[in-house]
């Protein structure tokens, strides 16, 4: 993990959460849409998805709402969108119809992202409809150079369980829209920035377990890559930094809300990715540890905010 982190950090001109948050603050105005795209863990092993991804999307959606007054548009595959909605709503952001947007805050749109390659038209229509100023991809699998999606272990993921999130990256690049990728393994959208490094670092980087034999590393990169030990943790880091840069320290959820976000996702069927069980964990890390991380992040931005207010 630390090797991936070092590779991602060395490839970019500053701290990753800072670059991502600054990019959002510079571009997103009140009411602007930001796409938040997630969805990992696939049927039949994880029929409702996994817990790394949706809580991160909930945290980022909440931070976009609180810190920037933005309009989060959250997306995931049909098998896990209900769990994403449950997490977002546990974060205090209600998934509501379009007509509610002009009249109230604390709201997001939620869309089921259809599977497979025949979705270019759908993707273009979403971008035309919402005119997003940024896109955030959280634990969202991207294809390798042969166009194949993989698990971190090296097995292939088939088109009947994967949405083509990289179509959104292609739309963003064509239209000059800012993109952020948050991942923890090198097979997620964003890591195309450091594709050769992922191939060297990951055990299944050079050679996967599927007939493509080209490894798990994705070729899809983003303007900013946030590499974290757990993708959700990278998302909480982004929420914290959005809070620091805007002075809205409450943009990062508190510890109790962190518990509720994960609980809602697990009750909706999501599984801990490490154990494949419906338990209160993210990638094998207990909710208590993530709550402690939230405590530390709040301490960091609280101290940082005090220094900034002194003109430090």
If the CB atoms of residues 59 and 151 are measured against Zn ion, the closer one turns out to be 151
Cα–Cα–Cα angle for 209, 234, 252, rounded to 5 degrees: 150
Verify binding: residue 217, Zn ion, rule CB under 5 A: no
Using CA atoms, how far residue 253 sits from 27, 72, 118, 240, 306, in Å, is 23, 16, 37, 9, 19
Which of 20, 208, 240, 271 contacts Zn ion by CB under 5 A?
Answer: 208
* Residue labelled with tokens 């990992």: 40
Which of 16, 126, 127, 210 contacts Zn ion by CB under 5 A?
Answer: 210
Nearest distance from residue 149's CB to Zn ion, in Å? Answer: 9
Single out the segment in contact with Zn ion by CB under 5 A; choices: 22-30, 143-151, 247-255, 292-300.
143-151
Nearest distance from residue 200's CB to Zn ion, in Å? Answer: 17
Nearest-angstrom CA–CA distance, 306 and 128? 41
Determine contact, residues 184/231, Cβ cutoff 8 Å. yes
Single out the segment in contact with Zn ion by CB under 5 A; choices: 11-19, 38-46, 87-95, 144-152.
144-152
Determine contact, residues 239/228, Cβ cutoff 8 Å. no
Single out the segment in contact with Zn ion by CB under 5 A; choices: 121-129, 173-181, 189-197, 208-216.
208-216
Total residues binding Zn ion (CB under 5 A)? 4
Determine contact, residues 122/163, Cβ cutoff 8 Å. no
Region 44-83 residues binding Zn ion, contact defined as CB under 5 A: none
Verify binding: residue 204, Zn ion, rule CB under 5 A: no
Nearest distance from residue 220's CB to Zn ion, in Å? Answer: 15
Nearest-angstrom CA–CA distance, 216 and 192? 11
Verify binding: residue 162, Zn ion, rule CB under 5 A: no
If the CB atoms of residues 208 and 294 are measured against Zn ion, the closer one turns out to be 208
Query: What residues contact residue 16 under an 8 Å CB cut-off, 6+ apart?
Result: 8, 9, 224, 225, 226, 227, 234, 237
If the CB atoms of residues 152 and 212 are measured against Zn ion, the closer one turns out to be 212
Which of 25, 112, 212, 229 contacts Zn ion by CB under 5 A?
Answer: 212
> In the beta sheet, which residues pair with residue 37?
75, 137
Nearest-angstrom CA–CA distance, 165 and 142? 7
Single out the segment in contact with Zn ion by CB under 5 A; choices: 19-27, 203-211, 227-235, 303-311.
203-211
Residues of this chain that bind Zn ion (CB under 5 A):
148, 208, 210, 212
């Amino acid at each position: 993990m630390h090797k991936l982190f070092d590779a991602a950090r060395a490839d970019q001109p500053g701290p990753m959460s800072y670059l991502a948050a600054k990019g959002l603050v510079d571009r997103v105005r009140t009411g602007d849409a930001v796409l938040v795209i997630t969805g990992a863990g696939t049927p039949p092993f994880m029929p409702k998805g996994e817990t790394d991804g949706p809580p991160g999307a909930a945290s980022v959606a909440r931070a976009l709402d609180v810190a920037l007054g933005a309009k989060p548009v959250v997306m995931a595959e049909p098998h896990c969108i209900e769990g994403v909605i449950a997490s977002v709503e546990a974060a205090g952001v209600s998934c509501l119809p379009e007509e509610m947007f002009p009249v109230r805050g604390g709201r997001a749109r939620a869309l089921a992202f259809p599977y497979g390659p025949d979705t270019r038209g759908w993707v273009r229509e979403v971008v035309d409809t919402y005119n997003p100023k940024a896109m955030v991809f959280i634990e969202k699998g991207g294809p390798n150079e042969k166009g194949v999606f993989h698990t971190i272990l090296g097995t292939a993921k088939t088109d009947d369980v994967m949405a083509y999130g990289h179509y959104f990256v292609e739309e963003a690049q064509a239209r000059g829209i800012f993109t952020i990728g948050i991942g923890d393994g090198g097979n997620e959208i964003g890591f195309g920035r450091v594709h050769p490094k992922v191939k060297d670092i990951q055990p299944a980087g050079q050679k996967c377990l599927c007939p493509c034999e080209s490894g798990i590393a994705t070729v899809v990169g983003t303007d900013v890559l946030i590499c974290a030990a757990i993708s959700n943790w990278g998302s909480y880091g982004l929420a914290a930094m959005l809070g620091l840069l805007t002075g809205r320290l409450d943009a990062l959820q508190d510890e109790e809300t962190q518990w509720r976000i994960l609980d809602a996702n697990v009750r909706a069927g999501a599984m801990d990715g490490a154990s494949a069980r419906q338990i209160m964990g993210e990638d094998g890390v207990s909710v208590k540890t993530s709550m402690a991380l939230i405590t530390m992040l709040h301490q960091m931005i609280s101290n940082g905010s005090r220094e900034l207010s002194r003109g430090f």
